Structure 1
Amino acid sequence: MIHTSDWSEPFSHFPKVTTVHDLVFKRYPSTVDPLIRSTQTNRLANLVKGTTHLVADSQSTKDDLMKIYGIPASRITVIYPGIEPQFKPADQTAIARVQAKYHLPKEYYLTVGTEEPRKNLSRLIEAIKTLPIPLVATGNYGWGQAVPQDKLIKTGFVAELDLPALYSGARAFVYPSLYEGFGFPVLEAMACGTPVVTSNISSLPEVGGTAAVLVEPQSVEAIRTGIKTAEEGHIELIQAGIKQARKFTWEKTAQAMMEVYEKISHQH
């Protein structure tokens, strides 16, 4: 049996399993670099015809595969990824160290990810303008038009070891992405005890559940209102988020994957 996740599996007569993380290049093509969009479109179209079974990171991605490619539900299994154990609430010493290292204020909202159109950073910055706390954005520039710099603090690349303290120190984590196949940052922020505001579309409601404030990502006012709601329910969201994050473990992922392998082995 062959299992790949980069959509470039070799020719073989053995059963093939393919993991599909997202279909952003189909759902929101204007937010994907044209060269990447073309490559992914060709690869997945060929792969779908020959793979035995597909694994999707979320029900949202499974639904996209069924709708766009006409794949029957029986050929797709949803298996959620897990979260790394280092993502947990950091102590005040660690938070202060990271804030000093990246020259951050004591109070800030946080967003994480490569700067690209899909991440919806421009609307988030617009939403922050009338709020008293600035936005900290991590990650390097990807592609697309430069975003406004008002009330924005850009850290550039942040070491993975610093992320838990960066999450833990934020008043809220705000992630109004236009599309995600899973949305790891939402889970990471919750695990670190940070209230989360995220989009009400794609996979993000699956990840956040009732522990996140869900907003319409195309609306600046909805994002702003969501941040205010997170401030008002700060304590409740922290507790609910930590509980929600505990549902996603790599042990569960591995067990579900083994069940897929066993099922396919018995069929072949």
Structure 2
Amino acid sequence: MRIGVNLLPFRQQLAGTGRFTQNILKQLAEIDKANTYFLFLTKASATHFSIPQENFFPIICYFSPTRRFLRIGWEQLILPWQLLYYRIDLLFTPSVAIPFWVPCPTVTVIHDMIPFQRTVTKYSKIRSVYVQIATSWAIKKSTAIIAVSQNTKQEIIKYCRVPATKVFVSLEGVNSRYRKIDSLSLLAQAREKYNLPERYILFVGTLEPGKNLTRLLEAFCQLKQENRLPHKLVVVGGYGWGKDLKLLDAGRGSIRLRRFNFADEIIFTGYVPEEDLPFLYNAAELFVFPSLYEGFGLPVLEAMACGTPVIASNLSSLPEIVGDAGLLINPYDINEIAAAMAKVLNDKDLQTELINKGLKRVQEFSWRKSAEVIFNTFKIVGGKNQ
């Protein structure tokens, strides 16, 4: 088969969906030597998806992915004709959006159903409407759907009323770079590079309302008031959108952060490239992820793989991913978040228990297994089309 891969939405800085795609393509390159892959992408993201295999061909589309309307226009009007020109037999879209007209069967990855949630916001109102329409269209018109968790699969079936047999679950994995690092000198270099304290609590994620950062900051301040702990809070991630979060621009010394009594104890690193993230996880004493909604929740697995105790939200897919290897909290309850952080930081035995359980739990997830599910889906869809 000649398989087209729509990588047009990805930018120079990869977030969760981009990292998912990067790992899946690397594994497909190892698994599949028979099919030919045509990667439709922009120059900005080309280095992230450079795969030195004879059956992988990059097709550079010359527009800036930061110009959203240009990207949508190219995706809807030009990409279908490219699929015809390159005689593509199947289109794989790892980031939801597919053209309204596609000249071949499609396999589409749905990472979450957040546009359908009434209590959680990830996008602006206009973008939320667009994403909901695009997601509904992709789910209904795709030949097969890949969901990244059982929770996401059940929501796809619930909101879009598609048969369960159309949806295949491909759980995410953990890159091998996420592991315990014993070198104190390497950890010290990471601390110096990002101006990190000796002891800290870590959050990793795109800074947007659904990540629940404001409540985390309030819980951290409460933790500092009620416990004499030396830890600071390190927030890692680039800015997504949201008025409240833009006001928390501590990296520029924003006075708006002063309403949190311990503003000096909160460090915003901004975007951190993936090659540096394992060092930040390893140097942290605790990882806290109070997200209001996740389709999967990859950062909790990355933290576990690095031997860092995890506290996570008890909503959406996170209980499915965390299992009993972390403390689950109500992300709307600031007192509960603060109490959980205090409990872990003040109990060495609990820390050891969570570390060991996390290292064991993470062994159940792998990118090879994820890619095999997707590869088998290609074969099923391709077989139906023959």
TM-score by length of 1: 0.93
Question: What's the counterpart of residue 54 of structure 1?
Answer: 145
Q: Given residue 14 of structure 1, which amino acid in structure 2 is its aligned partner? A: C
Moved more, 239-248 or 185-194: 239-248
* Structure 1: unaligned runs, 5 residues or longer: none
Corresponding residue number in structure 2 for 1:263? 380
1:190 and 1:242 in contact (8 A); partners too: yes
Q: 1:123 to 1:8 in 2, by over 3 A?
A: closer
**1:165 is aligned to 2:279:** yes
Q: Is the aligned partner of 1:116 residue 2:208?
A: yes
2:96 matched to 1:7?
yes
Q: What CA distance in whole angstroms lies between the structure 1 residues aligned with 2:151 and 2:185?
A: 39
> Does 2:177 align with 1:63?
no
Deviation at 1:38, TM superposition (A): 2.3
* Equivalent residue, structure 2, for 1:196: 310
Query: What is the letter of the counterpart of residue 8 of structure 1?
Result: A
Amino acid aligned to 1:112? V
**Are 1:187 and 2:278 matched, yes or no?**
no
1:261 deviates by: 2.4
Report if aligned partners of 1:112, 1:138 keep a CA contact under 8 Å in 2: yes
The alpha-carbon deviation at position 180 of structure 1 amounts to: 0.7
Q: How many residues align?
A: 268
Structural RMSD (CA): 1.7
Residue deviations 1:12-68, cap 9 Å, x none?
453321110011122145332223212212212222332111110011111111111
Q: 1:116 to 1:267 in 2, by over 3 A?
A: same
Q: What SS is found at the alignment partner of 2:238?
A: coil
**Alpha-carbon offset, residue 176 of structure 1:** 0.1
Q: How does 1:1-268 map to 2 (within 5 A)?
A: 1-10=90-99, 11-27=101-117, 28=119, 30-90=121-181, 91-129=183-221, 130-131=223-224, 132=229, 133-144=231-242, 145=244, 146-147=247-248, 148=257, 150=263, 151-231=265-345, 232=347, 233-268=350-385
Q: Which moved more, 1:94-103 or 1:171-180?
A: 94-103
Alignment partner of 1:135: what SS?
strand
Secondary structure, aligned partner of 2:324? helix
Amino acid at match of 1:50: K
Residues 119-169 of structure 1 deviation map (CA, whole Å, 9 limit, x = unaligned): 111111111113322210011232221244523111122232221110001
The answer (yes or no) to whether the contact 2:95–2:111 under 8 Å persists in 1 is: no
Moved more, 34-43 or 74-83: 34-43
The amino acid that maps onto 2:374 is M
Q: Which amino acid aligns with 1:239?
A: N
Conserved? CA contact 2:307–2:355, under 8 Å: yes
CA, structure 1 residues 18+159, in 2 after alignment: closer, same or farther (shift >3 Å)? closer
Distance in 1, Cα, partners of 2:300 & 2:379: 31
Matched letter for residue 47 of structure 1: A
Contact 2:168 2:373 in 1 (8 A): no
CA distance in 1, matches of 2:319, 2:179: 21
- Which TM-score applies when normalising by structure 2? 0.66
> What is the CA–CA distance in structure 1 between the aligned matches of 2:196 and 2:375, rounded to whole Å?
44
Contact 1:3-1:17 at 8 Å conserved across structures: yes
Larger-gyration structure (1/2): 2
